[in-house]
Amino acid sequence: MADVLVVGGSVADGRVKDLEVQLHGLGERTLDRDTAVAWMKDGHSFVPVHEGSRGPALLLLEVGDELFIRHQADGEAADALPPLG
């Protein structure tokens, strides 16, 4: 599976709205939350990039019967991204 570099994104009302990503050999593109969750379920690693450094991969956490995209495994029922860019 591929490392998907996350260089930007937005969260509103506890949900990722979009992620700006880079894939090796392809240009930058924007993914919606549903696509990001599907790719993560397929095994792709979403690696946040901040000031040129790669951070730990984002997590896909199940809280209750819902999935959340987070950078920390704290069990909160909301998406959360680290600093990006």
Question: With helix as H, strand as E and coil as C, how does the chain read?
Answer: CCEEEEEEEEEECCEEEEEEEECCCCCCEEEEHHHHHHHHHCCCEEEEEECCEECCCCEEEEECCEEEEECCCCCCCCCCCCCCC
Q: In total, how many domains does the chain have?
A: 1
Domain hosting residue 20, numbered range? 3-70
* pLDDT value, residue 37: 98
Say if 85 falls within a structural domain. no
Say if 83 falls within a structural domain. no
What is the pTM assigned to this prediction? 0.92
pLDDT in tens, the chain (85 residues): 678 999 999 999 999 999 999 998 788 999 999 999 999 999 999 999 999 999 999 999 999 999 999 999 988 899 999 999 8
Say if 50 falls within a structural domain. yes
Say if 84 falls within a structural domain. no
* pLDDT value, residue 18: 98
